[in-house]
Amino acid sequence: MPDKQISALVVDDEPVAVKSLARILAGEGYAVKSTTKGEKAIEMIKAETFGIVLTDLLIDSVSGLDILAAVRERSPETEVIILTGHASVDTAIQATKQGAFHYLQKPIRPDEVRNIVRRAAEKLQLTARIQELESGKENDFPSIIGSSVKIVEIKKLIRRIKDSDSNVMITGESGTGKELVARAIHETSLRRKEKFIAFNCASFTDDLIANELFGHEKDAFTGATRSKTGLLETADKGTVFLDEVGDMPNAMQVKLLRVIQEREVMKVGGTESIPVDIRIVAATNKDLKKLCASGFFRQDLFFRLNVIPIHMPNLSERREDIPLLGSYFLRRCAEKVGKAINGFSDEAIGRLSSYGYPGNIRELENIVEHAVSMAEGSMIDVENLPKDIMEYDLYTFHTQEEKLKSLGEMEKEYIRWVLDQVKHNKTEAAKILNIDRASLYRKLKRYAFDDE
């Protein structure tokens, strides 16, 4: 039975079929109306919004395609299921390309009806859920998509710390949505009316990091023809998001620690301290405790930043969120390119849900964008997905001549595959593999990649 009662319309010129279908749906908890007249059905559709419409393909002077067109015009979210005889299966398939959810071939089997209608209801609820997320009515965090246990716990924690001004450390792999969480923390905090400034610590050299964060005085170095206000000063009263803080050079770690302790900054080339009132939300895909133990990250800075720790799970750890995330990206991408795409086929969503996602949410978004570009009908089907998704389950344990591969051979193949996915960007590959660049280069040398 659906969580919230869904209205359904049954249309068939055979009274016995109408009565049978109406009884099945009513037994499943749907609010059912029915008619044996095609023109009457179109009048009902114009007067009332139904969640699900089951219609025969051939009804007196009106066809199921006419009813489908009327539904699409009146309420695009309504799911239409076509009932068809064997001779008109091709037309029913064409109807699915025009926006119908599915088709059922006569004679109708009750279990098959229940299954297809249940899936249509789930899609309706998923669409409604996405609309709630986009409108912000569902919760305070429309940008954090998901209802898995781990995501719900993160949302609860963000609510719990809304009146706190403590620093936050967000950990997790690249592409898991750390910046979205940082923004949500700011937008629900006491500083929400002030600035949120994001800075990637891995994108700049030591000198440039100092210049960007602290600013500089005029004539502080060659080319400094005017003074510059740093991001920390600009963010006064607001929140600074320091992404990839684990890549911050040691000299900058010392300066950042002083900012936290003294609540002041000094420009490059300056002689006077400038008071600042900022909250720091830091993020990293590295294990900072290990970096502290090895001396690459200051332990005192770690303690100052890690007051409230939040860990973002990999997408593979929250697979139940994949249909919701996929549908969210689908709506956004389809609207952007002006395509009327209603959703994913069962096989397509099955493939998406079983894929490994080394690039996490960011990779899922790219996959959906690719699928939207390739789709020609009203549904994303499995052939619209990238080749890697299709080959993923076969790739993992693929053998040749019944000879199992060694762990080293599998590692070599996986590294090659990851490099191909990121167009041989070794920094990005190292992040996905969760190793540093030096370790990656050692593996490349060990496996003689340059010789291939």
At a CB cut-off of 8 Å and minimum separation 6, what does 133 contact?
139, 142, 145, 328
Q: In three state form, how does the secondary structure of the chain look?
A: CCCCCCEEEEECCCHHHHHHHHHHHHHCCCEEEEECCHHHHHHHHHHCCCCEEEEECEECCEEHHHHHHHHHHHCCCCEEEEEECHHHHHHHHHHHHCCCCEEEECCCCHHHHHHHHHHHHHHHHHHHHHHHHHHCCCCCCCCCCCCCHHHHHHHHHHHHCCCCCCCEEEECCCCCCHHHHHHHHHHCCCCCCCCEEEEEHHHCCHHHHHHHHHEECCCCCCCCCCCEECHHHHCCCCEEEEECHHHCCHHHHHHHHHHHHHCEECCECCCCCEECCCEEEEEECCCHHHHHHCCCCCHHHHHHHCCEEEECCCHHHCHHHHHHHHHHHHHHHHHHHCCCCCEECHHHHHHHHHCCCCCHHHHHHHHHHHHHHHCCCCEECHHHCCHHHHHHHHHHCCCECCECCCHHHHHHHHHHHHHHHCCCCHHHHHHHHCCCHHHHHHHHHHCCHHHC
Apex 106 CA angle, 105 and 111, nearest 5: 80
Work out the burial of residue 364: count CB atoms within 10 Å of its CB; fewer than 13 is exposed, 13-18 middle, 19 or more buried. Answer: buried
What residue has token string 């010392």? 254
At a CB cut-off of 8 Å and minimum separation 6, what does 338 contact?
none
Q: In three state form, how does the secondary structure of 138-167 look?
A: CCCCCCCCCCCHHHHHHHHHHHHCCCCCCC
Which of 382-406 are b and which e, b meaning 16 or more Cβ less than 10 Å from the residue's Cβ? bebbbeebeebeeeeeeeeeeeeee
Work out the burial of residue 16: count CB atoms within 10 Å of its CB; fewer than 13 is exposed, 13-18 middle, 19 or more buried. Answer: exposed
Q: What are phi and psi of 191, to 5 degrees?
A: -100, 10
Q: Answer for the pair 161, 307: CB distance below 8 angstroms, yes or no.
A: no
For residue 284, list its beta bridge partners: 171
For residue 192, the Cα-to-chain-centroid distance in whole angstroms is 24
Q: Answer for the pair 330, 368: CB distance below 8 angstroms, yes or no.
A: yes
Which amino acid, residue 261?
Answer: Q
For residue 325, the Cα-to-chain-centroid distance in whole angstroms is 4
- Taking the C-alpha atoms of residue 409 and residue 402, their distance in angstroms, rounded to an integer, is 15
For residue 240, list its beta bridge partners: 197, 280
- Give which of 199, 374, 179, 386 is closest to 211, Cα–Cα: 199
Q: What is the pTM of this model?
A: 0.68
- Taking the C-alpha atoms of residue 160 and residue 154, their distance in angstroms, rounded to an integer, is 10
Domains of the chain (ranges plus CATH)?
Answer: 7-135 (3.40.50.2300), 149-311 (3.40.50.300), 318-451 (1.10.8.60)
Which amino acid, residue 356?
Answer: G
- Taking the C-alpha atoms of residue 247 and residue 270, their distance in angstroms, rounded to an integer, is 26
Per-residue pLDDT tens listing for the chain (452 residues) = 455 789 999 999 899 999 999 999 999 999 999 999 999 999 999 999 999 999 998 887 888 889 999 998 888 889 999 988 755 667 777 777 777 888 888 888 898 899 889 888 988 888 777 776 666 555 567 789 888 899 999 999 999 999 999 999 999 999 999 999 999 999 999 999 999 999 999 888 877 898 899 988 887 777 777 888 999 999 999 999 999 999 999 999 999 999 999 999 998 887 889 999 999 999 999 999 999 999 999 999 999 999 999 999 999 899 889 988 998 899 899 999 998 887 888 778 888 988 889 899 999 999 999 999 999 877 898 899 998 787 765 445 444 444 556 667 777 777 887 787 777 888 878 877 777 787 788 888 877 775 44
Q: What is the pLDDT of residues 373-428, one digit of tens each?
A: 999 877 898 899 998 787 765 445 444 444 556 667 777 777 887 787 777 888 87
- Taking the C-alpha atoms of residue 452 and residue 447, their distance in angstroms, rounded to an integer, is 10
